[in-house]
Amino acid sequence: MNVCKNCNSKYQGNFCNNCGQKNTVGRFTFKNIFSEAFHAFTHADKSFLVTLKKVLQNPGKVAYEYIVECRRKKYFNLFTFFLILTAIAAFLGNKELTLNEAVFHDDNEYGRLFNLYSKVLSLATIPVLAFMLWVTNYHKNGLRYSEYTVFAMILLSVLSVLDIFTSSINIFLLLAFKINFSAGNHRVIALVIIILMAYANYNFHKKMFKNPWFRSLLSGVLVCVVQVAISIFVIWAVLRNFDGLGNFTMYGISNR
């Protein structure tokens, strides 16, 4: 008979019947740390990498299963998923700016501040975006505002993946060819966001509504509007006081 170190329950076998903890858990070693980290990102069907793949393939389906069908164990914890992606996007965004300054000798403190504040404000974006999506849909499907808050978080996770992808491409171009092609400087990124968000919204709502294309497109536009509004707010309310700290451009808005 074993006694679980986590919940003090008595059990037989290799795992606690109450909480599931192994009976071999002991002090941490570097081997344990590496094993735990590797396990968290790669193990079974609910790993971070598998969840990332499924979110990229069909974010609306993932959201529907996670929120409506309550298939929570099928995926990596999507709240942790969102925070990890946001942190990676912020890190790569800062790295991209650092390389750009090193290659072109162009001080861009505006960009650094925007990268920091925009990622922090992404948390505030969630309830705003959720409210807009809820208002435009709740009369028809009966989902709660709190459930649309989770959906909004998943949508912003997709945008973080987009940030990670574009930053990675630009970092490669800066290192290999000394070329800067930051996606944030181009209005076409707004069109990409609308398409991605409309696709996600369609797959989330297609079992709730008949032919939800218009509603999905509207939702995609709402996501883009919220993102651009946050960008403008950061520039106006925070960065406008940092005169002389370099050039800043986002969605065609520039301090030049």
Q: Model confidence over 154-210: pLDDT tens digits?
A: 999 999 999 899 889 989 988 888 887 765 556 677 788 889 999 999 999 998 887
| Percentage of residues in the chain having pLDDT higher than 90 | 27
Q: Which residues pair with 249 in a beta bridge?
A: 254
Nearest to 182 by CA among 197, 194, 196, 171: 171
* Calpha distance 54→11 (Å, rounded): 36
Extract the tokens encoding 241.
């006081």
Other CB atoms within a 10 A radius of the CB of residue 53 amount to 10
Residue 206: CB atoms within 10 A of its CB come to 16
pLDDT tens profile 194-252: 899 999 999 999 988 877 888 888 888 888 888 777 767 766 665 555 554 445 554 44
Distance between CA atoms of residues 142 and 138, nearest Å: 5
Token pair for 245 = 């700290």
Residue 209 tokens, joined: 């509504």
Nearest to 156 by CA among 72, 253, 207, 84: 84
Extract the tokens encoding 35.
């094993």
Query: If we measure between CA atoms, which residue out of 168, 149, 199, 155 comes closest to residue 99?
Result: 168
pLDDT category at 67 given cuts 50, 70, 90 is: very high
pTM strictly above 0.85:
no
Pairwise CA distance, residues 88 & 119, whole Å? 10
What is the reported pLDDT for 108?
59
Mean pLDDT taken over the chain: 80
Decide: 161 and 125 in contact? Cβ < 8 Å. Answer: no
φ/ψ (deg, to 5) at 253: -90, 130
- Environment class of residue 24 by beta-carbon count within 10 Å: exposed (0-12), middle (13-18) or buried (19+)? exposed
pLDDT at 118 over 60: yes
Cα→Cα distances 197→113, 144, 186, 193, 207, Å: 26, 20, 18, 6, 17
CA–CA dist 82, 158 (Å, integer) = 9
